[in-house]
Amino acid sequence: MRIGSVLKAIRWVVAGLVFLPGAFLFGTIALLGARDRAMSAWSRVGLWGLGAKCRTIGTMPPAGSLIATNHFTYIDILALGAVVPSSFIAKGDISKWPVIGWATGASGNIFIDRDSLRNSSRLLDKIAARLTAGERIILFAEGGIVAKDCDVAPFRPMLFEVALRSGKPVIPTAIRYVTPADPSPLCWDKGGLGSHLVDNVFKIKAIEIEVEFAEPIYPTETDTRKSLAESAHGEVCRMIADGKAARGTGETNG
């Protein structure tokens, strides 16, 4: 085994020993009122373990905004958690994951399951209230990891209703993987998480991520949740396309 692979394996072991047991520590810190710092530290440990670096482009979303973004891989969560003080809208299944599920809930993230969707008006009011209180809420607007070819699937409009109810802005946000040149192995579309990490992510020398924020979209009286979803989707597609074009001509964004 080459020295680089040995060092990478050591980094993974160290990060794993901190990341998983550390979830209890970070979750406890979050419960004590330092959620944003705890989430940032936890996410940065995860990124370091994966050999990933993340940088932001654009202006940090204002307090009380719905951050509508594409979703390519679970690494997206670490990237956003490291750079944006926020809460996530997450699938209810995550709450059942050992260790991570507890830490995710302790950090104030919003879990959605089928029962939540049956009572959608109550759920929407809850999220809108948190936006009004000044929280940044991250929405993976495609509804999950759905586009392995790096294209952006249509945004599902239902949860954009919270921007209308709160009057708070939508921030279209694009997550781009600059390195490796072909990021498709990073997409987790089947199999176990552990096997995907070992069989795909471990083999990648370095991961470079860009998170780009567009200008806020403030809802108007004529907007609907569908129109907000379509506007946000158009902006994210534009940013993804601009990033591809810049890399194709040897330029960089930012």
Domain coordinates of the chain in residue numbers?
Answer: 3-248
Q: Could you name the CATH architecture of 3-248?
A: 3-Layer(aba) Sandwich (3.40)
Strand spans (E) along the chain: 52-57, 65-69, 87-91, 110-112, 136-140, 170-179, 207-213
Which token pair is 41?
């530290």
Identity at 52, one-letter amino acid code: A
Cross-strand pairs, 136: 65
pLDDT for 208 beyond 70 = yes
More confident: 135 or 9 = 135
Report the pLDDT value the prediction gives residue 7, as an integer from 0 to 100.
62
Q: Give the pLDDT confidence score for residue 200 in this predicted structure.
A: 86
**pLDDT tens by residue, 28-66:** 766 666 777 878 888 888 898 888 999 999 999 999 999
